[in-house]
Structure 1
Amino acid sequence: MDVRDLKPGDVLLFSPEEGSWISKAITWLTDAPVSHAAMTYQLPTKLVEETPPAVRIADATLRFVDRTVHVMRLNKPVDDFKPVMDVAAKYLNGQAPYSMNNLYLLGILLLYKKFTPNDETQKIILKILKSLTERLLDAINQMKYPDKHPMVCSQFVFECYLEAGKAYRLSIKDGVLKSDSPRPNLITKAFKHTRKNSQLANLSAGAESDDEQLAKQLYHAMNDETLLASGVVSDELLDSIHDFAQTLHAVSQELELAKADPRQGLAILQAQSSMFVTPGDLLRHCPELRHVGDISLK
């Protein structure tokens, strides 16, 4: 398939970025060959995507280099894709925030996944959550509140179709985070936990962290046994989830940190888990989308 064959509204799903441990960890956790989602915008050579620091327009021929892009297209008859493009333009003009980059997607996947991570994996998840919490604290301190809960790339595409109207609405059937496993996810465990020691006062807002190094450590710590582990989740990790939830509640509701409630933050996360969409969902679990071809540019 050629870039010139793309049509407005085509969903573009990217293979993992070469050399990126974050991309690799996302595909491992979702058991899917894609780690990023975007959408063709207006012209075949333009795409719109949620990527740091905000929603942006990019040149498809540049973004596609060294990636395999799976092209998905709506399989329902519609007059045109102007409603979808209008929603994308709204987010574009509003500079919908995405300061968290793909580490945020990775962190949310870890919170939603129905598994009990082994001790080594828990230590890495703790580092990731602290890093994400630091960035949310930075948003609070700079009074840069998002207009809503931060979206990941695939959620942005899904929202554009959702808000365009009934004719365009997508659905996810048996998504990658749906599981028959009776094991609760980390959010559920955190709900049952009472925070013993908050680290919010000790975190350095805006501190730099090596996201790729964290993802590399996580990838090496995770293995098949990780998903089968039946150990206990540490109080330190559960406390850290409460810290993350409190800052998330503050940002999403435009509150001072002291007035934010970690349990309300957990409630936000839990409510959104049922609607959370991954790049793998758009590839394999969305009946309204059909695969029309792949593009690989070197």
Structure 2
Amino acid sequence: MITEKRIGIENLRVGDILVFPAPEGSKLSQAIALLTDSSVSHAALMYKIEDELLIAESTLEGIRLTPLPDEMPFIRRYHLNAEELNKLLNSIEYYIQDKTDYAYIDLVLLGILLVYKKFSKKTLTNKIFYTFLEYIARLLAETVNNLLSKGKNPMVCSQYVAQCYLDAECPLKFNKMVVDWDYSTKLLKRTRGNDRISLITLLGDTPYLSNTRVESNVNMLNMSEESEIFNDFIHLIKSEKNAGIKKGARKEQHVEISEQPSMCGSEILDLSDLVAPAREIANSLNLILTDKSVVNKIHPMNGSYEKEVFFVTPADLYLNCSNVEPIGQLSF
């Protein structure tokens, strides 16, 4: 567990990255922390209107400004000059004014990738298969987001943080990322008699992992167990959205900086419908991979991570970002 010095509100600066520990009352937040081998589940940016400290964040209701919550986030700082800070603020404000949506499909697809990586044997075949899964995740996310949010770029919380810095021409850099195949090879092994493994079962008795690793044998799931975990993750997202903000969670109020009407799409997508087609595509690609002649033609995704935001998680901002300074943990 990382121990960081406590800092006060007076130490905060506009543009700081805030990374929040996973609250105990949210199963979805606990799932994110579990799948990313960390204790965090949410990220936001420090903002200010006159003398009021606010945070700019992508919530389940979309990107917006909210009051500084009574939580204790970890603070990460990219040292910006005046011009860079101005560009960052312009980017923050643009997505808020545009009422950019939350990227539910990105969260689901990233969850599927992390489930597969976390519970699969570390073999060359699975590594190649995983590379294809990354491509599929990108294509599905782009297709669905174009259908539901035409002209916009839906983002989850950590994507929003990374995108704003990218827009400001100050891309966040990562030595490694949670989504990387070799990020973690020491996994938890859970056995519950003859019960099938599921994400909710794991959440029931698994402590936060922070940046520590637990020695164990790697577990290989069969298709029925994988399907249950996928469905559990989607169920957690839906239940979190439907339940709204629960006791002890962030305040509901938010701050408007624009009177522009909402541009949110009216179409509703049942995310669970995407799991089976995605798995069928993946299975087909896996069959292709059994042909040894095509293995050498498979290459990793092009582009450096400093220019990518799709795979950035709160844990990456917390643990893996190489060009930000850890400032401490906010204490009230």
Do they fold alike, i.e. is TM over 0.5? Answer: yes
Distance in 1 between the 2:325 and 2:168 partners?
19
Kindly indicate whether residue 60 of structure 2 is the aligned counterpart of residue 52 of structure 1: yes
Task: Quote the residue 1:206 is aligned against.
Answer: none
- Using the alignment, how far apart are the partners of 2:53 and 2:174 within structure 1? 28
Partners in 2 of 1:225 and 1:231 — Cα distance?
A: 18
1:219 is aligned with what amino acid? Answer: L
Whether the 8 Å CA contact 2:63–2:101 is kept in 1: the answer is yes
Mapping of 1:133-148 within 5 angstroms? 144-145=148-149, 147-148=151-152
Contact 1:155–1:277 at 8 Å: present in 2 too? yes
Could you say if the C-alpha distance between residues 285 and 76 of structure 1 is closer, same or farther in structure 2, counting changes exceeding 3 Å? Answer: farther
Q: How does 1:273-292 map to 2 (within 5 A)?
A: 275=308, 276-292=311-327
Give the counterpart letter for 1:169 in structure 2.
P
Q: Does 1:42 find its partner at 2:48?
A: yes
Q: For 1:56 and 1:225, how far apart are their aligned partners in 2?
A: 41
1:163 maps to 2:167 = yes
Decide whether aligned partners of structure 1 residues 227 and 106 sit closer, same or farther in structure 2, where only a CA change above 3 A counts. farther
Higher Rg of the two aligned structures = 2
Q: Given residue 116 of structure 1, which amino acid in structure 2 is its aligned partner?
A: F
Higher relative contact order (CA 8 A, sep 6+): 2
User: How much does 1:294 deviate?
Assistant: 1.4
| Identity level (%) | 27
- The letter for the 1-side match of 2:219 is A
**C-alpha displacement of 1:37:** 0.1
Report which of the two has the higher share of helix.
1
RMSD: 4.4
Asked whether the equivalents of residues 87 and 164 of structure 1 are also in contact (C-alpha less than 8 Å), the reply is yes
Q: Distance in 1 between matches of 2:174 and 2:100?
A: 23
The TM-score with structure 1 as length reference comes to 0.59
Kept in 2: contact 1:116–1:233 (CA 8 A): no
The alpha-carbon distance between structure 1 residues 115 and 216, as it changes in their structure 2 partners (threshold 3 A), is closer
What is the alpha-carbon distance in structure 1 between the residues aligned to residue 302 and residue 217 of structure 2? 23
The residue type equivalent to 2:173 in the other structure is: S
Give the direction of change, closer, same or farther, for the CA distance of 1:93–1:79 in structure 2 (3 Å limit).
closer
Counterpart of 1:205? none
8 Å Cα contact 1:42/1:85 also seen in 2 = no
1:232 is matched with 222
Give the equivalent residue in structure 2 for 1:248.
none
> Unaligned stretches of 5+ in structure 1?
119-135, 184-213, 245-250
Distance 1:107 1:220, change over 3 A: farther
2:155 aligned residue (147, 151, 154):
151
Task: Tell me, in whole angstroms, the C-alpha distance in 2 between the residues paired with 1:52 and 1:221.
Answer: 26
Query: Secondary structure of 1:38's partner?
Result: strand
Is 1:12 aligned to 2:22, yes or no?
no
Q: Are the aligned partners of 1:40 and 1:47 in contact in 2 as well (CA < 8 Å)?
A: yes
Match of 1:179 among 172, 178, 181: 181
Q: Which moved more, 1:85-94 or 1:228-237?
A: 228-237
Deviation of the 1:217 alpha carbon: 4.2
Measured in 1, the distance between the counterparts of 2:200 and 2:218 equals 21
What CA deviation, in whole Å up to 9, does each residue of 1:139-194 have, x standing for no partner? 99xx85354563210111000000112xx2211211122232899xxxxxxxxxxx
5+ residue gaps, structure 2:
1-6, 122-140, 186-197, 208-213, 235-263, 271-276, 286-300
Work out the CA distance in 2 between the residues paired with 1:177 and 1:163.
22
Aligned residues: 221
Q: Choose from 112, 115, 119 the match for 1:116.
A: 119
Residues 45 and 56, structure 2, Cα contact 8 Å, conserved in 1: yes
